[in-house]
Chains A and B, each alone.
Chain A
């Protein structure tokens, strides 16, 4: 056995997206020796794909905006299932986190008076999303990356070593968390390039690994989204909440097949794009749910006027929260009123001049032109729902990001609670910064308060290595690509946007079989940059997380946000008071109900009683 490479740090951050990088900056600024580990190259994490913007109630475009209004919108968007404390911290701190990016060098689009411009987005009462065209995620990640470089330059000046206090290990995959008794002691993983194993010893680990979309066939997510952090947390004894809630973004590309699922940003609708069915009808007017009736225009004229006069008109229903729009599109297609390739039409060409479209939506223009031969300045796009975001994740303490396992923290998409049953657009990027920073601080405080550092038990290392090498040891087993495709198809068809009891039960049976077959996967070749092997290891995580999704979805007998049950179509106030908590024992997932934490009184007072009656039980209101 080759000698194991070993490193020791104070804080390890797994993930180099917005959450991970912000956490690392914070830990480093708290004096911790910090490392960031990430599967792909530094600067390429999934955050880079975010388009529309980052939500923060700065009030630059409409000064009526405030954290209270943002908080309200977030709770409404999540159908009041959100962890209220997270929603509160998020709304309060997002503006500071955005302004801080400017001090790192970010260049957002500007208002006439030179402030950060803010755009409209679904579910947000005022223009609230700071943005750079439709490439906001790139700006965010590059800015944080460059801030990290600047901290490294400081270290170089002081110590002659760029990596003295903050080091990035790129193209490195973590396969297991390592514990010393009840507390975190480090992580184990491999270099993509060489396939060689490494042990990192550290008393605190922050998970910032993003989402799980690669378990679904049609998704906007990149290959990194295999639910690794979710699975690592489960296996280390932490619990996941809200796993039944998955956001299907209403507008993904539907054609050509090879790009099916790629995102079409919500900004298209924010900037005036309308949805039509094959009969040319703006069908969203037929789908305004009762709870939103007074907030959305019920006729085209009023909806159109809103773009120029927001004070005196209600917004068009194209800007309803994503779950509503996704379901509406789904229904139209099912009713036979879809577009030729099974979507609906999204058209911005009739609202804005070509020049303006190219300016405001450059990457959409580029994407459609290059990949689908469609010129969005002159033609409608064909769009349909795509698996986009997981609301569920590691159950954390809102203030510090701490999980139930000592030394284990989580932030960003891998954490759960903040968005309740449905996330509003733009609320992820702000979530990453607010809670990335908090997790960085929380982990640092934890490390500082320790009187002894944990030690890594050698047998766990031996075990982790054996697990990782298993696919090479077996012969005649199945190809991981086949299993992955079957998993994606099952999740898409049976635990997708519209769910039924029988189908989810079937999904669980299929998952059981897939789990068995996964025991005997075989990969060819060597450990050096071997994608077949990588997929075999990722599959273990995808299967575990998919089981959480299917089991929780089966138990929740209501429809709410990113969980729609054909057999239980309405929202049930009793269910709002319950969280479904996933744990794992061996390789079995168990799901239990747990009471939701009641919303603090002064926050409840921010809402009208009539609105609360739509969500809360009579008992809670009395």
Chain B
């Protein structure tokens, strides 16, 4: 059941680093994070990795496994051949701190730039009424565990540092969509999406949706509908205004 697995793990810091080879025990049912932990406990006690719940709920242990953005805790060893060498590297889009840990502050900055939920003024707490079908659209986006794998994989910023200023990335464009589709939000989000968060940069290649560990349809359900709303608005603002005012 157990075997000796071959691993290459990136080690280093902001001044540089390299892949380091390890041979380490792998047991039945384990995930890649288990192996990283075994390395820490037996061979590399100061190997830096960010993790928390180890149950796919917190989105801390994002990294790239054989070049593919994934959660370390949700990647089972059984998806690899026993003879395969497994390469684990940090997310490429964010600056390195050490080993597998990157500086994800870009995401927190972008989160702060999205204007918050604007509650209806005429409803007191406890008076909110919404139908399940109406909340479901935004609920899908609220499944997001902020692992930032979509941000990492998005080619608008992946190798284009220069776009980071103007582009919030799929995670936060989806946040804008979530608020736009919230049945009781009173703010106008459509122009913001285009002007402040760079929706126009997205050319719907769906890379973000593909890597989402929560299987959220980021492109189909958030980004494309937002693009449509932007297009509608440009076309006929009166229609948009009517929709917004009389939707409730």
Contact = CB atoms under 8 A, between A and B. Distances in A.
Contacts, number: 169
Contacts of B138: 107
Given A44-B60, A150-B116, A532 B48 contact: no
A44 B112 contact: no
B53 A529 contact: no
Contacts of B117: 104-105, 146, 150
A41 B125 contact: no
A427 B51 CA distance: 27
A259 to B, nearest CB: 7
B245 interface: no
Given A193-B97, A529-B99, A162 B46 contact: no
B129 interface: yes
A531 B112 contact: no
A278 interface: no
Contacts of A383: none
A49 B53 contact: yes
Nearest to A485: B41
B164 interface: no
Interface in B83-123: 97-99, 101, 104, 108, 111-112, 115-117, 119
Contacts of B76: 370-371
Given A110-B130, A370-B74, A531-B45, A41 B60 contact: yes
B192 to A, nearest CB: 13
Contacts of A193: 97-98, 101
Contacts of A133: 139
Interface in A502-527: 523-526
B48 A367 contact: no
Given A44-B59, A102-B128, A223 B51 contact: yes
Nearest to A145: B111
B49 interface: yes
A13 interface: no
Contact of B52 (A139, A224, A262): A224
B126 A258 contact: no
Contact of A138 (B45, B130, B135, B145): B145
B111 A149 contact: yes
A20 to B, nearest CB: 15
Contact of A103 (B48, B112, B119): B119
Name, among B45, B48, B144, the residue most crowded by chain A CB atoms within 10 Å (CB to CB).
Answer: B45
B60 A40 contact: yes
A341 B59 CA distance: 29
Nearest to A255: B29
Interface in A154-169: 156, 162
A149 B112 CA distance: 6
B58 A258 contact: no
B116 A49 contact: no
A221 B132 CA distance: 32
Contacts of B158: none
Name, among A46, A48, A115, A481, the residue most crowded by chain B CB atoms within 10 Å (CB to CB).
Answer: A48
Contacts of B203: none
Interface string B184-197: 01000000000000
Nearest to A193: B97
Contacts of B126: 58, 95-96, 99
Interface in B169-195: 179, 182, 185
Given A132-B139, A371-B31, A524-B46, A529 B74 contact: no
Contacts of A68: none
Contact of A40 (B52, B116, B128): B52
A113 B45 contact: no
B182 A107 contact: yes
A139 to B, nearest CB: 6
A86 to B, nearest CB: 23
B131 interface: yes
A263 interface: yes
Interface in B8-41: 13, 27-31, 34, 40-41
A463 interface: no
B55 interface: yes
Given A44-B52, A531-B48, A532-B40, A115 B57 contact: no
Contacts of A153: 112, 115-116
Interface of A: 40-44, 46, 48-49, 58, 95-96, 99-100, 102-105, 107-110, 113-115, 117, 132-133, 135, 137-139, 142, 146-147, 149-150, 152-153, 156, 162, 193, 222-224, 255-259, 262-263, 363, 366-367, 370-372, 479, 481, 523-526, 528-533
- A-B CB proximity, top 7 nearest: A256-B29, A525-B46, A105-B117, A150-B116, A114-B129, A532-B45, A99-B125
23 contacts: A40-B60, A41-B60, A44-B59, A49-B53, A49-B57, A58-B126, A99-B128, A102-B125, A102-B128, A105-B182, A107-B135, A110-B131, A110-B135, A132-B139, A132-B142, A135-B143, A222-B53, A223-B52, A371-B76, A481-B40, A481-B45, A524-B46, A531-B46
